[in-house]
Structure 1
Amino acid sequence: MDINSIAKLAGVSRATVSRYLNDGYVSAEKRKVIARVIKETGYVPSQQAQTLRTGKTNIVGVILPKVNSHAVSRMLAGMTLEFNDAHYQTLLANTNNNKETEVSYLQLFAEGNQVDGIILIATVLDQEHRRALDALRVPVVILGQDMEGYSSVFNDDYRSMLQLCRKVLPNSVHPAYIGVTQEDVSAGQERRRGFLDACAELGLDVPADAMGTSPFSLDGGYECAESLMSRHPELDTFVCATDVIAFGALTCAREYGRRVPEDVQVTGVGDSDLTRVVTPSLTSIHHHYQTSGREAAKLLIEAMTSKDVVPREIRMSYGIMMRNSTR
């Protein structure tokens, strides 16, 4: 069964069926007949043929750092709602936080008619990324970082961390910070800067060796907290760059006989589901990950369907969720 057969059964021209399949103008009467024939025959248009006719694949590439992340899963949930409504399929490329793999996927998607557009859920952006992005012939939206010259949706990491620390650190004398790589501008640099500026406002001195760097993992948070407490047993607060790191720090503090929050406060970022069920419940920053995914998808759909779209930046709002891990 092909488009010529559908045209013959419907008593219309091949061109009319083609317009119908591509949402072109077809009279209501003919549209009804074609729809009936397609339903009765079970005809499914060839994606390859449609791509050849229209130059469109109706596929969006999503490059993501890891699938087992609360933030990433929520972003995906949001963007797929928008893409499904707009009849786009999504092709996921998992990089396992490897920036060379991110660049290789960008280069792959740049070749031929692979996808109609790309969302890059970014952690680290460098000159290799910039060259690969500049070589793209399809629209791209950056999610999670702000990159000049490209449409982007990102969290207010600096202000959210500043506000969290303004609430928590008045009850602290010796705070510590467990961050992530400084190559990550949003989660690494901006959250660390928010912590340090809040400490400066409150007159809190933070020694350089009371600031650690952890992988995005529970084990990393545990090991970093253990190392910080061995150097500074007087520490009374762990401000952590992510919830997962905070879970590790909280576990470490309790296993070393520190009461949370009486002896040590612990905070995270992300407001993942576990923040409400761990004991004690974790104070955290709520970022609107699902909404940010939807906004990124909307920007990309607009870029894929319109001409002369100007790059836009969307900075998301946030909430401070005060719970039992802080005083």
Structure 2
Amino acid sequence: MDINGIARLAGVSRATVSRYLNDGYVSEEKRRLIKQVIDETGYVPSQQAKTLRTGKTNLVGVVIPKINSQSVSRMVAGLTSVLNESKYQMLLANTDNNTGLEVEYLKLFAERNRVDGIVLIATVITPAHRKVLGETRVPVVVLGQELSGCTSVFNDDYHALLDVTNIVLEHGTHPAFIGVLEDDVSAGQMRHRGFLDACRDHGIEVPERAQCVSDFTVDAGYLAAERLLEAYPEADAMVCASDNIAFGAMTCLREYGRRIPQDVQVTGVGDTDLARVITPTLTTVHHHYKTAGMEAAKVLVGAMGERDDVDREVRMSYGVLRRNSTL
């Protein structure tokens, strides 16, 4: 059964059936006849034929750095809610933080009009990323990093860390920092800079031995805290670039006989579920990850509908949640 057969059985023209299938104007009587034939025959329009006719796939490619991340899952949930409502289907590509694979997926999605738009949930932006993004002809939104020359939705990590560091400095005088690689501009550079600037505002110069780099895992946070305790035993606060790092640091501190927050205050970033139930509960930054995903999807849907072809930069707000891991 094809569109010609539907038209013949319904007693209408092929053009009328086409308008019906594409939500165009069709009289109520003809609409009823067409629907009746479609229901009786079980006809399903060919997506390939629709793509050839309209030039649209109604598909959006989403490239993510890892699938087992609460922040990523919250962003994807926001994307999904808007894209579903807008009748777009999502193709998800998980790269396990492989930047080369990210570039390959971007190329795959962009070539031969496979998708109508792309969302890149970004961590590290390489020259290869910039090259393929600059050559891509479908609309692209970068989520999680500020990227000039490209529409991007990102968190205000600098001011978030400035604010959370100010909390520990109300009572702390020897703060330490556990960050991540600064190739990740948002989570690495901006969070580190916010910490250092808050300390300088309080007249504190943080020595290099009080700063170290970790992965985003609990185990890495534990090992980083252990290194800090050996290199900087006078630390009375550990400001961490993520909640998972903070959880590892808290475990290490307890095993080394340090009380939290009386001896060492600890903060994180992310407001993960565990932050609310761990003892003591964790002072952290709440980034609006789901809302950021929704905002990115709305911008992309507008661009795919050719309502807005101007690059935009959307900086999200945040909240600092003061809990029991700080004084």
Does 2:109 align with 1:109?
yes
The equivalent residue for 2:206 is 206
Check 1:309–1:28 CA distance in 2 against 1; reply closer, same or farther (3 A cut). Answer: farther
State how far apart, in whole Å, the 1-side matches of 2:113 and 2:239 are. Answer: 46
| Alpha-carbon spacing, 1:262–1:308, altered in 2? closer, same or farther (3 Å) | closer
1:186 corresponds to 2:182: no
Residue 169 in structure 1 maps to residue 169 in structure 2? yes
Match of 1:48 in 2: 48
Quick check: 2:118–2:139 contact (8 Å CA) kept in 1? yes
Give the conservation status (yes or no) of the 8 Å contact 1:237–1:265: yes
Contact 1:66 1:94 in 2 (8 A): yes
Q: Which amino acid aligns with 1:228?
A: L
Q: Distance in 2 between matches of 1:215 and 1:308?
A: 38
Which residue number in structure 1 is paired with residue 81 of structure 2? 81
Aligned runs of 1:1-327 on 2, under 5 Å? 1-307=1-307, 309-327=309-327
Superposed CA deviations along residues 96-131 of structure 1, whole A, max 9, x for unmatched, are 111111111111112112111000000011211110
8 Å CA contact 2:167–2:326 kept in 1: the answer is no
Contact 1:110–1:135 (8 Å) recurs in 2: no
Distance 1:8 1:274 in 2: 61
Sequence identity, in percent?
64
Q: Which amino acid aligns with 2:12?
A: V
Asked whether the equivalents of residues 250 and 260 of structure 2 are also in contact (C-alpha less than 8 Å), the reply is: yes
Say which SS state the counterpart of residue 113 (structure 2) adopts.
Answer: coil
The residue matched to 1:101 in structure 2 has which SS?
A: helix
Which whole-Å CA distance do the structure 2 matches of 1:192 and 1:28 have between them? 63
Distance across 1 between alignment mates of 2:236 and 2:22: 63
Moved more, 106-115 or 275-284: 106-115
CA distance in 1, matches of 2:192, 2:303: 34
Q: 1:299 Cα shift?
A: 0.3
Structure 1: 4+ residue segments shifted above 4 A: none
Mean Cα deviation higher: 234-243 or 166-175? 166-175
SS in 2 for 1:45: coil
What TM-score do you get using the length of structure 2 for normalisation?
Answer: 0.97
Q: Which runs of 5+ in 1 are unaligned?
A: none
Give the aligned length: 327
Deviation for aligned residue 1:276:
0.3
Deviation at 1:200, TM superposition (A): 0.2
Distance in 1 of aligned mates of 2:114 and 2:313: 26
Secondary structure of the residue aligned to 1:249 is: helix
CA distance in 2, matches of 1:308, 1:208: 46
Letter aligned with residue 297 of structure 1: A
How far apart are 1:74 and its partner, in Å? 0.5
Read off the aligned partner of 1:97 and give its amino acid letter: N
Deviation at 1:24, TM superposition (A): 2.4
More moved, 206-215 vs 17-26: 17-26
**Secondary structure class of the residue paired with 1:63:** strand
Amino acid at match of 2:289: Y
Structure 1 position 48, deviation (Å): 1.3
1:92 Cα deviation from its structure 2 partner: 0.3
Q: Which amino acid aligns with 1:234?
A: E
How far did 1:49 drift?
A: 1.4
- CA deviation after TM superposition for structure 1 residue 42, in Å: 2.1
Measure, in 2, the Cα distance between the counterparts of 1:256 and 1:3. 73
Q: Contact 1:176–1:235 at 8 Å: present in 2 too? A: yes
Task: Structure 2 unaligned segments of length 5 or more: list them.
Answer: none
Work out whether residues 170 and 202 of structure 1, in 8 Å CA contact, stay in contact via their aligned partners in 2.
no
* Amino acid paired to 2:2: D
Q: TM-score, with normalisation over the residues of structure 1?
A: 0.97
Write the letter of the residue equivalent to 1:326.
T
Distance in 1 (CA, whole Å) between partners of 2:308 and 2:297 is 18
What CA distance in whole angstroms lies between the structure 1 residues aligned with 2:218 and 2:28? 59
Distance 1:194 1:308 in 2: 33
Matching residue's letter, 1:318: Y
- Give the drift of 1:308: 5.3
In the TM superposition, residue 10 of structure 1 has moved relative to its aligned partner by: 1.6
Partners of 1:265 and 1:325 within 8 A in 2: yes
